[in-house]
């Protein structure tokens, strides 16, 4: 089979291509689409990078990760997540969460293995699964009491004997749910019962609202630790998406297999980037709470803008920087609504169905950008939906 032919651009990339065409024809476009924080990287992290460059930290990195970064990750996992991992054997540094997910899947999957995925979910999980010979299987989720939830019944309904791994994203892109201790316990029990690996993408962990608190699955259900791979990165928490640095933690034998994949491909983030990442994780964390406070203000603006429009509601995110407009009562495919917002109002958002059939009836509105872009975008959104 030609695996490359099965790969698809993400919704963001496909829509970006349409946007560029419209822009080339002179149309002014406002985007509430991307998941890219608009804050500059905090200055002490930038300084750590330039200092490392000045100190000649430009040689090949330790492919497993530089010692200072691995130790900073171990200390962070203890401090923020209450988890103990050995920096020598149970952690690796990766080029973002994207490579962490790829390496975890490469270490686990054999041809034809099924990978369970929340539906709707971040659409960049599908291509690495397919590239590695796996088969994505959606776990249907529904809006119950104003939020998308993941239930044991839906997990069981999606399971077949070919299932090998569940990817779990919490806080959950695009829908904004932060899985509760009970939900995580149910997921952990399911993975144990069905002998599955659990790959946890925790990239939005620091961005939560209204008292919701992120929990890593093994903190909620310690029995899952030996089948759990923690995937994280600095892209969102420290506004470092272009630095391409992240990390994974898990049982030593699996981390060793992931290291084999990494050593034959990316060989890890640049040495000076790893030095700066260690400073980000180990240094003062005020920048993280300042960004969270600003996202909280933006979230309130988005939710206010979605009030009072006939047949439109809002799903208030518990975490992340996306809100879902609930347009089920409009009775139109979300992709049609998205296209009209773009073509008639010059606004880019993403249709919920881009994230799986479970996302139909919603639109993802990003508040990763603030200021004038957000104000202008929300005014176009109100106009368009009304």
Which residues are near ligand PLP by CB under 6 A? 35, 96-98, 122, 169, 173, 201, 203, 233, 235, 241, 246
Q: Which single residue is written with the structure tokens 């400073």? A: 279
Which C-beta is closer to ligand PLP: that of 173 or that of 216? 173
* Residue 141 CB, nearest approach to ligand PLP (Å): 15
Tokens of 16: 């970006």
Instruction: State which residue has the least CB distance to ligand PLP.
Output: 96
Which C-beta is closer to ligand PLP: that of 203 or that of 325? 203
Indicate if the alpha-carbon torsion angle 92, 93, 99, 100 is positive or negative: positive
Which C-beta is closer to ligand PLP: that of 270 or that of 309? 270
Which C-beta is closer to ligand PLP: that of 127 or that of 173? 173
Tokens of 299: 């979230």
Which C-beta is closer to ligand PLP: that of 199 or that of 221? 199
Which C-beta is closer to ligand PLP: that of 122 or that of 295? 122
Burial of 135 (0-12, 13-18, 19+ CB in 10 A): middle
* Residue 201 CB, nearest approach to ligand PLP (Å): 5
Which C-beta is closer to ligand PLP: that of 69 or that of 203? 203
Other C-beta atoms closer than 10 Å to the C-beta of 371 total 9
Q: Which single residue is written with the structure tokens 């994949």? A: 261
Tokens of 228: 């759990």
Q: Which single residue is written with the structure tokens 């569940």? A: 166
Which C-beta is closer to ligand PLP: that of 169 or that of 353? 169
* Residue 125 CB, nearest approach to ligand PLP (Å): 8
* Residue 169 CB, nearest approach to ligand PLP (Å): 5
**CA-CA distances (angstroms) from residue 103 to 47, 100, 128, 171, 268?**
30, 5, 9, 21, 11
* Residue 177 CB, nearest approach to ligand PLP (Å): 13
* Residue 344 CB, nearest approach to ligand PLP (Å): 28
Alpha-helix runs per DSSP H in the chain: 11-24, 43-54, 67-81, 96-108, 126-131, 152-158, 181-193, 217-220, 252-263, 271-282, 286-305, 334-345, 371-385
Contact (CB, 8 A) for 141 and 148: yes
* Residue 380 CB, nearest approach to ligand PLP (Å): 23
Largest CA distance in the chain: 60
* Residue 237 CB, nearest approach to ligand PLP (Å): 10
């Amino acid at each position: 089979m030609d695996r490359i032919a099965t790969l698809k651009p993400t919704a963001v990339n496909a829509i970006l291509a349409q946007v560029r065409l419209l822009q080339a024809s002179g149309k002014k476009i406002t985007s509430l689409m991307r998941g890219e924080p608009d804050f500059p990287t905090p200055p002490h992290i930038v300084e750590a990078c330039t200092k490392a460059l000045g100190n000649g930290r430009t040689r090949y990195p330790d492919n497993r990760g530089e010692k200072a970064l691995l130790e900073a990750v171990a200390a962070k996992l203890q401090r923020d997540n209450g988890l103990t991992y050995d920096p020598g054997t149970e952690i690796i540094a990766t080029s973002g969460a994207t490579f962490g997910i790829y390496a975890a899947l490469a270490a686990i999957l054999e041809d034809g293995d099924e990978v369970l995925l929340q539906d709707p979910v971040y659409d960049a999980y599908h291509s690495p699964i397919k590239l590695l010979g796996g088969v994505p299987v959606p776990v249907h989720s529904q809006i119950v009491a104003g939020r998308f939830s993941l239930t044991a019944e839906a997990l069981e309904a999606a399971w077949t004997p070919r299932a090998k791994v569940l990817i779990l994203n919490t806080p959950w892109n695009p829908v904004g749910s932060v899985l509760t201790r009970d939900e995580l316990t149910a997921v952990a029990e399911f993975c144990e019962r069905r002998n599955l690996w659990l790959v946890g993408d925790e990239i939005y962990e620091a961005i939560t609202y209204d008292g919701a608190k992120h929990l890593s699955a093994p903190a909620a259900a310690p029995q899952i630790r030996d089948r759990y791979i923690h995937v994280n990165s600095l892209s969102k928490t420290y506004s470092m998406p272009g630095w391409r640095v992240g990390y994974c933690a898990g049982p030593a034998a699996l981390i060793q297999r992931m290291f084999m994949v990494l050593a034959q491909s990316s060989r890890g983030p640049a040495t000076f980037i790893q030095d700066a990442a260690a400073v980000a994780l180990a240094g003062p964390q005020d920048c993280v709470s300042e960004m969270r406070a600003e996202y909280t203000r933006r979230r309130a603006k988005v939710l206010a803008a979605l009030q009072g429009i006939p047949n439109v509601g809002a799903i208030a995110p518990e975490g992340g920087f996306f809100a879902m407009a609930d347009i089920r009562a409009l009775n139109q495919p979300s992709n049609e609504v998205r296209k009209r917002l773009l073509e008639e109002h010059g606004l880019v958002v993403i249709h919920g169905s881009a994230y799986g059939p479970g996302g139909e009836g919603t639109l993802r509105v990003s508040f990763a950008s603030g200021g004038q872009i957000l104000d202008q975008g929300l005014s176009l959104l109100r106009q368009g939906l009304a």
